Structure 1
Amino acid sequence: MSTQSLELVPGMLTTRAEVATAYGGSRFSGIEVSKKTNMIFIYSDPEAGEEYGYTFDGLAEPDEQGPLYLYTGEGKEDQELTKGNASLHRAREDGRPIHLFVADGVVVNEATGRKTGTKQQRYLGQMMLDEVQPFEMRRAVGPSGERHVIVFRFRPDSAARYPAVFQARDGVRAASKTEQVTLEVEPTSVMEARFAASVQVETEAHHTNETVAKITGGLSTVVRREGELTTAYKDFLVERGHTVKRFQITVAGVAGALMTDLYDVTDNVLYEAKGAARRTDVRLAIGQLLDYRRHIETPPGLRLAVLLPSEPGDDLRDLLQRENIALVTRTADGFAGFPVGI
């Protein structure tokens, strides 16, 4: 079969064997790199992946940049940016288009009408990794116990010949129970993907203040103020001897996981960071903190705090005070406000 006889059109049903025959690559890994065509084929199977703790896969709630599809990387132990994961992470740099498939039923024998053991693959479309945050680290539980997994963040590729096509059932599955996991904030860059053998994982490291992302309206500069602010404040606390973590929260009946920003274990403070001090940002931070607090267990006396890059207006400061939420802002010399005490 030649590539011309298997045109990849979003919504079509095919099999891994047909794709491999036409475009190259093997038929067994979730991440298949074809040397024949320089393409990467991603196969998502949320139902089968659940056995290995792959509970994050699927279409997440869209954000300001549009649709977002999550995909757990490969590796039965703590996952690193090696092998298929590394190829996927370097796809843009290497000029390799990414094609995403999801398992959708099994092939039926046309002669007998009986189901075979071959899974059908529904083609969702050509993807690209999110340019602002290509992946994040999560904690998952599989047959070998707790481990760290890489959850890639896909966006439909605007350069694709056909637009991506998603169906309602492609969404991330709802959690069966509510669970809280404390995640370590390690000083080593997450991009090096070296993790300790425990349930603790790193937050995303933000080494650049801005990047270019393709969003509605064309190429725009996306300033990574929030991520850079979070990293800077984490370093500020760690330098002063504080233990800093974050929470991963799964809520029964809700798809996906909630990820907090910073939790200062030493002072028992939960922070929500925002990249601007506008009213919309402050109000969103308040709502997120109140939502997180319902689902986490900490020692008595937990304080909530908003972390901002600059001072908000007097009315917003009053709003935070009325809600008993502390405020920390960045200054030329570091950070100021409760509970920093500077």
Structure 2
Amino acid sequence: METLEEAELCFPQLLNSSCKKLTRPRPEALTIYILMSCVSLLTVLLNLLVIVSISHFRQLHTPTNLLLLSLAVSDFLVGLIVMPFQILLTEPCWFLGDLMCTVFVFVLYITVGASIANMVLISVDRYVAICDPLRYSTKVTQMKVKLCILLSWVVSVFYAFMMLYDNLKDPGRFNSCYGECLINVNGAVDLVLWFLIPISAIIILYVRVFVVAVSQARSMRSHIAAIKLQRSMTVTVQRSELKAARTLGVVVAVFLMCYCPYYGISFSGPAIKMSSSTNLLFFFLIYFNSGLNPVIYAFFYPWFRKCVKLIATLHILQPQSRLTNVM
């Protein structure tokens, strides 16, 4: 239960239809504002670095990095658009109107959906790279990846529209009073179609990836002394792919930890009150995940650290900087 001070009305002129203004204690509200504002700013800046790095340097234009770019775009939009609105929802009353409440949740669903779709695509990419490396270059091309990314965003928009159709058709129809932001969704359908099925696919693919990875590692250790030059080059490529799989595995693991609590509220009922403290915590975990991904890249990808240095020193403004070796 929230600790609330004396109740007032959100809209005093609407005595019988206004929501009560149940304000949070000032220390709690101030903590929420500062924490979410900092996370929002860091999410925007860090993901912008990923977007600029992969977009600018030609050497990074690989199928895997295109998927990371799409993920960074969805995370960037979370920090730039979704989180500022969520900060407004920490207020006891929603003053932007029913339409803006619905639009906010609509954008939230698109970005969350795109992130989940990107995670599935990343898992498929690593599965093919590790389990069928000889045909990876023919199966996974830049054009195919671009089409898959486009399709994932289109599906995310369509899914958001279908889930929020009643809310978009008549914004505010589920509010019990003026000054409330209440959204009605089918939690069971959302849980199954946009969480359990994709997450099951991700887990199955990564279990397969790591089983093959362990098998390859044992094989390389037992035969390393007898490997010829050509075989050595193959091993080097395999090690690179295994490192990428481990890195993206960490991304997926963090993703699961941050998103599971959010989808747990699907069992609480169809109506989601966006400003409740419990929901704010769950949504914050999702937003926090959007800021964590670039941090993971910084720890595991040397090319990202090098790109950040080149961007910070304005090297990208020099002629032919796109051709710089960052690997």
What TM-score range do you get, normalising by the shorter chain?
A: under 0.3
Which structure carries more strand by proportion?
1
TM-score by length of 1: 0.20
TM-score normalised by L of structure 2 = 0.21
Larger Rg: 2
Larger RCO (CA within 8 A; separation ≥ 6) = 2
